[in-house]
Amino acid sequence: MKSDELFALLRRRGVLWPSAEIYGGAQGLYDYGPLGTALKRRVEDAWAAWFVGLSHDYHLIEPAEILPEAVVRASGHLENFTDPEVTCESCHAVTRADTVLEKIRPEGVDGLTPVQIAEIIQTKGARCPSCGSTSLSVPRPFNLMFGVDFGVTGKERAYLRPETAQGSYLSFARMWDVGRHALPLGIAIIGKAYRNEIAPRQVLFRMRSFTQAELQIFFDPAGFPVPFDRVREEMLPLLRVPRREAGEETPELVRAGSLVDSGALPEFYVYHLAHTLRFYRDVLGYPADRIRLFEKSDTERAFYNKLQFDVEVRLESLGGYKELGAVHYRGNYDLTRHSQGSGKDLSVHPTGRDALLPHVLELTFGVDRNVWALADTHLTKEGERTIWKLPPYLAPVAVGVFPLIDKEHSEFALGLVDELAFAGIPTTYDGASSIGKRYARMDEAGTPFCVTVDAETLHDGPARGTVTLRQRDSRTQERVPAGELTTRLLPFLRPPRPRRA
Amino acid sequence: MKSDELFALLRRRGVLWPSAEIYGGAQGLYDYGPLGTALKRRVEDAWAAWFVGLSHDYHLIEPAEILPEAVVRASGHLENFTDPEVTCESCHAVTRADTVLEKIRPEGVDGLTPVQIAEIIQTKGARCPSCGSTSLSVPRPFNLMFGVDFGVTGKERAYLRPETAQGSYLSFARMWDVGRHALPLGIAIIGKAYRNEIAPRQVLFRMRSFTQAELQIFFDPAGFPVPFDRVREEMLPLLRVPRREAGEETPELVRAGSLVDSGALPEFYVYHLAHTLRFYRDVLGYPADRIRLFEKSDTERAFYNKLQFDVEVRLESLGGYKELGAVHYRGNYDLTRHSQGSGKDLSVHPTGRDALLPHVLELTFGVDRNVWALADTHLTKEGERTIWKLPPYLAPVAVGVFPLIDKEHSEFALGLVDELAFAGIPTTYDGASSIGKRYARMDEAGTPFCVTVDAETLHDGPARGTVTLRQRDSRTQERVPAGELTTRLLPFLRPPRPRRA
């Protein structure tokens, strides 16, 4: 499906829609409806189960989203978190420089200075995308953070966090004190981040308020022990820089073990890259042949990142590979900056070691983008039918319970809904229209199991107390005792977890 | 425990701490650590299970937290969401008018006009709380919303939402289209709200960024059918306005049925008030004798509220009854305003009825305040021990698994942790120090169950495969097959739900 068609379907089904729709919407803001909210929550839970579940020493926290100015000054965001924008002197439209240069320079403007961009705009005859004029201003840096006037005096300035990661760096000292004084220590955050994007677009891909899930692992650069044997044979779909420079778009499969044996990448990094791949492929269920691990070059990645692979998935709706997450080796940049900015020495003394400033491995994940990608990749059409083939543990509604005839079978069916809900199984009741139409509604909503209560359920006979259990993907139907549903379905409704290190 | 002592304990245990602590903190912002984040999440889940679980037609959504200016103009927040503040002309401190008048007028300044407040300040000789001067400015309204410059032109203004409820009103039309075109329709939101409080204080009670859980039930004022018999015999601890005016502080128990029979309150309102009481008393487990339902008078409640009872719980740490939630009958004020503001007619046509603008019953719940109140009311000292007697389904960690001797029993214990975690049971591993100390750590963290793996677990004999299960509150210990733990514990770890209407 194309983006427009997919968005229309998601809007019609109440998965998501533009925010403040009755006021004409607010650019770059979206609301999640009932199905979208449930899906998003399950994606977040699956992420936490997998990544926070990697170690007993990884923890989820929830810091405030507002950062005092001193924090974003130290982190570098106040100075550097900018996109170059140009103003059209003819029609006054404000545009991102990379949008202006889209046709002339498809590789984007990352890493270029404003002066270099200005030169390209002038020499290549770039035009305003709105009116076509060539009278474009010199690009100026536009800070993407939303500032807020904090407090009553009007003199304190604060910012909505542009990334959740800062909360982990700010909390590191407290988490060290509270914890068992050992590295590695992982601090995860799932929450909102805010960016005043110059050109919000592609629905959930460039939003002004969006949800990130990020895990910062603080470790001793002298040694980050991992049970590498668990991933040694994993085949990673890499697109490394030399191959990219040769014009290749498709990844090549490289054995995890060989990357380490050859010294190409550090063991701890490959271990986490492999677990990241498994999450996207085995937990979220993206088709393996659509995933690539895309290495960023020196000029593309932030200067403090020593290594960066983006996880990209090929999406039909957006016409190509899109970044859904990344694995960043950030060194000790952040703790260094916050040590300087706060005046508090953030180095630590693990038992039996000299004091050190830990390095950080950052696993980052765009929740909204993945919600969209799960619609793109898992919504399929089979003839007249639209089926959202989500893994059962991600489905917004796990079970649809139907009375065959509403008036006769609803009491039993409603009792069953309550019973399943109490067992923690997200269940919905649908008593309207034909069974076929109800199945179709559930298929489109991604519900993996449907249960129908009928006359046989209620009347004396061999089938008393049994219901029809129908599976979405196989369309098989079988007769099952209602009392066994919970035990039978629960194992499918728990997100996978790695064994812990 | 007093507030300071309680906060120190929560900080030491990693439940919560001041945000951006290494930078000296940010007034009115707090971070939740691992235990706090888990507790908060479970409180939110319990709220959703209970209130969204009240009906098949109640749904949870997640709208954006940024509202365009047109929205807050229509809602009245731009004009009216203010607190009166005064500036000291001597020391320049800015103070809320009610703080200045705290001693002179303990009932607060709600409902007074700025002119009336100015008069009291002048005639009663109010003093600046900072320097004691009587040179105080005329009170001026201070808008509590955080404005943000939205978009790139600097001309669009937007606001961080001051309450989650607005998202439900904005989404009502879409939710009606998506749904089954029937009233009542419930729209719930759990998420952040932001207020630039003039005087943030009492830790989680007046924060600048806080979490609300709110359910807006849209209904036909001609009839809101509820299964009232389910609550008829419930005894409600009411403190109504006449009793308050007579100087009473303690509630009186009134039977739900008698309130309706006497025509004192509408049936639908009492039904939801009773379910609200049950949530605080039976789900969150506040002691019944500390809860009161506090009626707000005409002058105290917002002018559009036809009825308002606050749920108040008596907290030792804050020295009295504190508001933790409320039940508001808002009429059709909000939909009327947004119909006018957006130009979109928000009235609906339920099957077989004329078009109407629904009324709204709002159930509101302060998540952070309840996290604090759950610490205040459930943390107990028994001799040397601190025990956090949380209901098992609210406990941040449900099970602590210990190897009796770390080197010998850790493999089995770690396997058990993974097994319980996969079954959705929040489990932690602790291999350090004596069993007694480990029990004490778990007691303080609120963990209801501890499991110890020892030599008997591993060696041939009648106890092979069994572990010691210890319960927090009873301190009983018994030998249980490890394989039965999941089945045995899961029923205690699901929050209660009402039967659905």
DSSP letter string, B313-335: EEETTTTEEEEEEEEEEEETHHH
Which pLDDT value is given to residue A113? 76
The tokens for B32 are 């939740």
Residue A44: Cβ within 10 Å count = 18
User: Can you tell me the mean pLDDT for B294-322?
Assistant: 93
Q: Hey, are the CB atoms on A23 and B342 less than 8 Å from each other?
A: yes
Query: What is the rounded CA–CA span in Å between residue B21 and residue A197?
Result: 29
Query: Quick one: which H or E segment has residue A40?
Result: helix A34-51
DSSP letter string, A352-395: TS--B--EEEEEEEEHHHHHHHHHHHHEEEETTEEEE---GGG-
Entry field: residues in chain A: 501
B2 close to A (CB below 8 A): no
User: What does the pLDDT look like over B140-165, one tens digit per residue?
Assistant: 888 999 999 898 877 789 999 999 99
Which pLDDT value is given to residue B353? 87
Report the residue from B209, B338, B429 with minimal CB separation from A66: B209
B93 close to A (CB below 8 A): no
DSSP type of residue B383: T
- Answer whether A1's CB lies under 8 Å from A9's CB: yes
Residue B347 to chain A, least CA–CA distance (Å): 13
The amino acid at residue B328 is H
Q: Hey, are the CB atoms on B71 and A20 less than 8 Å from each other?
A: yes
Which pLDDT value is given to residue B501? 62
User: What does the pLDDT look like over B250-276, one tens digit per residue?
Assistant: 999 999 999 999 999 999 999 999 999
- Answer whether A185's CB lies under 8 Å from A175's CB: yes
The residue whose two tokens read 């989500």 is A390
Which residues 308-337 of B have a C-beta within 8 angstroms of A?
A: none
- Answer whether A348's CB lies under 8 Å from A184's CB: no
The tokens for A316 are 């039909």
A426 close to B (CB below 8 A): no
**A-chain residues near B67 (CB < 8 A):** 20, 26
Partners of A470 in the β-ladder: A450, A477
Which residues 159-178 of A have a C-beta within 8 angstroms of B?
A: 160, 167, 170-171, 173-175, 178
- Among B438, B443, B450, CA closest to B401: B450
Taking one residue from A and the other from B, the number of pairs with CB-CB distance under 8 angstroms is: 226
A196 close to B (CB below 8 A): yes
Measured between CA atoms, the residue of chain A closest to residue B426 is: A49
- pLDDT at position B284 over 80: yes
The backbone region for B408, taken as left when phi is positive above 0, alpha when psi lies in -120 to 50, beta otherwise, is alpha
User: Can you tell me the mean pLDDT for A45-54?
Assistant: 97
The backbone region for B302, taken as left when phi is positive above 0, alpha when psi lies in -120 to 50, beta otherwise, is beta
User: What does the pLDDT look like over B445-495, one tens digit per residue?
Assistant: 999 999 999 999 999 999 999 999 999 999 999 999 999 999 999 999 999
**A-chain residues near B71 (CB < 8 A):** 20, 23
B91 close to A (CB below 8 A): no
Q: Hey, are the CB atoms on A198 and B152 less than 8 Å from each other?
A: yes
Report the residue from A31, A146, A423 with minimal CB separation from B171: A31
Which residues 244-303 of B have a C-beta within 8 angstroms of A?
A: none
Residue A258 to chain B, least CA–CA distance (Å): 30
A193 close to B (CB below 8 A): no
Which pLDDT value is given to residue B97? 85
Give the side-chain half-sphere CA count within 13 A for A261: 8
Query: What is the rounded CA–CA span in Å between residue A110 and residue B492?
Result: 53
- Coil, helix or strand at residue B248: coil
Calculate the average pLDDT of chain A: 94
Backbone angles phi and psi of A187, in degrees to 5: -125, 115
Query: What is the rounded CA–CA span in Å between residue A457 and residue A466?
Result: 5
Selected residue with higher pLDDT from B21 and B83: B21
A153 close to B (CB below 8 A): yes
Partners of B365 in the β-ladder: B213, B325
B26 close to A (CB below 8 A): yes
The backbone region for B100, taken as left when phi is positive above 0, alpha when psi lies in -120 to 50, beta otherwise, is alpha
Query: What is the rounded CA–CA span in Å between residue A254 and residue A272?
Result: 15
User: Can you tell me the mean pLDDT for B237-247?
Assistant: 95
Lowest mean pLDDT, pick from A289-303, A421-435, B96-110: B96-110
Calculate the average pLDDT of chain B: 94
- What does each C-alpha distance from B27 to A67, A104, B140, B209 come to in angstroms? 11, 49, 22, 10
What end-to-end distance do the CA atoms of chain A give, in Å? 41
Confidence bin at B96 (pLDDT 50/70/90) = confident
Confidence bin at B99 (pLDDT 50/70/90) = confident
- pLDDT at position B438 over 90: yes
Q: Hey, are the CB atoms on B152 and A429 less than 8 Å from each other?
A: no
Which pLDDT value is given to residue B292? 98
- pLDDT at position B213 over 80: yes
CA angle (B152, B156, B158) in 5-degree steps = 110
Which residues 369-408 of B have a C-beta within 8 angstroms of A?
A: none
User: What does the pLDDT look like over A81-136, one tens digit per residue?
Assistant: 888 888 899 998 888 888 888 778 877 777 777 788 888 888 888 888 889 898 88
Q: Hey, are the CB atoms on A40 and B62 less than 8 Å from each other?
A: yes
Instruction: Name residues whose C-beta falls within 8 Å of residue A2's C-beta, 6 or more positions apart in sequence.
Output: A316, A317
User: Can you tell me the mean pLDDT for B367-394?
Assistant: 96
The backbone region for A24, taken as left when phi is positive above 0, alpha when psi lies in -120 to 50, beta otherwise, is left
Q: Hey, are the CB atoms on A417 and B500 less than 8 Å from each other?
A: yes
Does the pTM of the predicted model rise above 0.90? yes
B64 close to A (CB below 8 A): yes
A494 close to B (CB below 8 A): yes
A304 close to B (CB below 8 A): no
- pLDDT at position A501 over 70: no
Q: Is the four-CA dihedral A338, A342, A347, A349 of positive or negative sign?
A: negative
Lowest mean pLDDT, pick from A111-125, A302-316, A445-459, B405-419: A111-125
Report the residue from A22, A26, A196 with minimal CB separation from B342: A22
Report the residue from B53, B342, B432 with minimal CB separation from A421: B53
- Answer whether B453's CB lies under 8 Å from B467's CB: yes
DSSP letter string, B87-117: EBTTT--EEEHHHHTTTT-TT--TT--HHHH
The amino acid at residue B43 is V
- Coil, helix or strand at residue A120: helix
Give the side-chain half-sphere CA count within 13 A for B347: 9
Q: Hey, are the CB atoms on B171 and A33 less than 8 Å from each other?
A: yes
**B-chain residues near A417 (CB < 8 A):** 56, 500
Lowest mean pLDDT, pick from A341-345, A405-409, B263-267: A405-409
- pLDDT at position A303 over 90: no
DSSP letter string, B434-478: -HHHHHHHHHHHT--EEEEE-HHHHSSSTTTTEEEEEETTT--EE
CA angle (B258, B264, B265) in 5-degree steps = 95
The residue whose two tokens read 């899930």 is A213
Strands B307-315, B320-331: pairing kind: antiparallel
Q: Hey, are the CB atoms on A22 and B173 less than 8 Å from each other?
A: yes
User: What is the percentage of chain B residues whose pLDDT exceeds 70?
Assistant: 99
- pLDDT at position B236 over 80: yes
**A-chain residues near B213 (CB < 8 A):** none
- Answer whether B237's CB lies under 8 Å from B251's CB: yes
Query: What is the rounded CA–CA span in Å between residue A468 and residue A235?
Result: 41
User: Can you tell me the mean pLDDT for A128-147?
Assistant: 89
Confidence bin at B104 (pLDDT 50/70/90) = confident
- Among A112, A136, A114, CA closest to A124: A136
Strands A399-403, A427-429: pairing kind: parallel
The residue whose two tokens read 């009411």 is B238
- Answer whether B210's CB lies under 8 Å from B367's CB: yes
Instruction: Give buried/exposed letters for A1-17 (b at 16+ CB in 10 A, else e).
Output: bebeebbebbbebbbbb
ipTM: 0.94
B36 close to A (CB below 8 A): yes
DSSP letter string, A230-297: GTTTPEEEEE-HHHHHTT--S-EEEEHHHHHHTTSS-HHHHHHHHHHHHIIIIIS---GGGEEEEEPP
- pLDDT at position A139 over 90: no
**B-chain residues near A61 (CB < 8 A):** 31-34, 36-37
User: What does the pLDDT look like over A229-278, one tens digit per residue?
Assistant: 999 999 999 999 999 999 999 999 999 999 999 999 999 999 999 999 99
Query: What is the rounded CA–CA span in Å between residue A414 and residue B375?
Result: 36
- pLDDT at position A457 over 70: yes
A93 close to B (CB below 8 A): no
